[in-house]
Structure formats: structure tokens, C-alpha cells
Amino acid sequence: MVQLQMRQMLLSPGQRVLFKDISWDGFEQILDELGESRSSRVAYSQGILEIRMPLPEHEISKELISDLLKAALEEFDIDFWTLGSTTFKNQSMLAGIEPDQCFYIQHESDVRGKIRLDLQTDPPPDLALEIDLTSRTQTSAYELLKVPEIWRYEKGEVQVFVFEAGHYQQVDDSPTFLGMGLLERLPDFMSQIKTEGRSKGLKSFRAWIRGLKHA
């Protein structure tokens, strides 16, 4: 039997590959072999491993939404901690995930300043962001890790899913920004940043947030 090493695998942007019957030790070994200096993302759920390579526009959307989320949290004086595409894993649940971006908000103080997290003792991120351009994010690993809120950007709109009764349910509004109308306006401000520049777009967004605060 021919054995291939993970570093021999070539994925083009927008592609993904699935592996089945991967043990937890095998998953750990694959993570070690892939290393940390890579652009690919992995998701692992009870023996199924997915490796995907984001498109350039995927990263653009991720950064734009992340910048707007950070600005909103700052304007509302809410402390938060972002950990990007950190690998979150829990051996007892046989689950691991690398979100496109993630935020600790309600549990920010629990992880503040920590270099490494252990989800057997530390809480999962409060909000995870996934950019779905070429394929849909598999939520099975998120369900096992019990991440409370997922934002999915797909076809130019932001969809929000909350973890309830062991599964994700799509909702009309984000529990983190309830009643703000943020989801409907995000694509508009993303477009403004793309056409007018980041500085002007973010200033307009912050002004809109301040208007909400004083309404």
C-alpha cells in the first residue's frame, strides 16, 4: 500500500477533501504534520476529517465582517477576545474545528490573556464566523463543542444560527446584537468599504452604531 504524507497534498483555493475513519491520534498527527503556518482549515467530527483551502475573496469577506464586528463591540464598550482560526478540539467529544474567525464575548474574562486553551476545562468561543463561498460549513463539530452562536456569510448575506437542544437553529437576529438590525446592514457597509475604502467605511459604520445608541 502506498502511504502519502499530508504535506504532499495540494489543494487549490476553493477545494476541500474529506477523510473517513480517522482516529483521534490520527487527527492529532495530521495537525502536527500540517503545521501552524498554513492557510488551510480543518474540521474533525467523530472520525470524519475535512480539509479545505479558502479562496482569496473568502479571506476578504472574513476580514471585513471581523472588522465591523470588532467596531460594533468597541462602540458598545463590550470587551472581547478574538482568536482567529485557532484549532479548538476536545478529545472526549472527538471534535475539532478551525473557524474562519471566532470571538469570546460573554466569556471573554475566562480566556483573557491565555495562550493555549483546553476545551475540556475552558469554554468554547461565544461566536464563530464562517464564510461559505464554495461549500457549506459542516456544523457537526460545532455541535459537539457547543459553540453558542455561528455567523455564516453566504450569497451576500449573514445568517445566524444558535445552539439549542443539541442542534443549530437559524434565527432572525443575533442574540449578541439583539434588536440592532446589524445583520441587514452589514452587507451595505461591506460594499461601502470595498468601494470607498476601509477608513471611510468603518467611520460610517461607527457613526451608524452611535446613532443607534442615542436613538
Q: Residue 126 and residue 148: Cα distance in Å, rounded?
A: 6
Mean pLDDT, to the nearest integer, of 142-157?
90
Within-domain flag for 110:
yes
How do residues 170-182 score in pLDDT, each as one tens digit?
A: 999 999 998 888 8
Within-domain flag for 50:
no
How do residues 12-66 score in pLDDT, each as one tens digit?
A: 666 777 888 888 888 888 888 877 666 677 888 778 888 877 766 778 898 999 9
Q: Give the per-residue pLDDT at 7.
A: 57
Within-domain flag for 29:
no
Within-domain flag for 124:
yes
How do residues 164-214 score in pLDDT, each as one tens digit?
A: 988 999 999 999 998 888 889 999 999 999 999 999 999 999 999 999 877
Band of pLDDT at residue 3, cut at 50, 70 and 90: very low
Q: Give the per-residue pLDDT at 64.
A: 94
Within-domain flag for 155:
yes
Cell numbers at residue 187, please?
A: 452587507
**Alpha-carbon separation of residue 97 from 4, 48, 54, 80, 214 (angstroms):** 23, 12, 15, 20, 39
Residue 25 backbone phi and psi in degrees, to 5? -60, -40
Question: Mean pLDDT, the chain, as a whole number?
Answer: 84
- Its domain, for residue 85, covers 56-213
Q: Give the per-residue pLDDT at 22.
A: 86
Q: Which 8-state DSSP code applies to residue 91?
A: G
Q: Does 154 have pLDDT greater than 80?
A: yes
The alpha-helical segments, DSSP class H, found in the chain are 24-34, 56-75, 108-111, 140-145, 182-196, 198-213
Which domain CATH number covers 145? 3.90.1570
Identify the three-state secondary structure at position 107: coil
% the chain with pLDDT above 90: 41
Q: Give the per-residue pLDDT at 196.
A: 95
The domain total for the chain is: 1
Q: Give the per-residue pLDDT at 4.
A: 45
Within-domain flag for 149:
yes
Instruction: Check residues 88 and 103 and name the one with the higher pLDDT.
Output: 103
This prediction's pTM: 0.79
Within-domain flag for 97:
yes
Within-domain flag for 103:
yes
Q: Angle at the Cα of 14 (from 10 to 17), degrees rounded to 5?
A: 55
How do residues 95-138 score in pLDDT, each as one tens digit?
A: 787 888 999 999 999 999 888 888 888 999 999 999 875 556 67
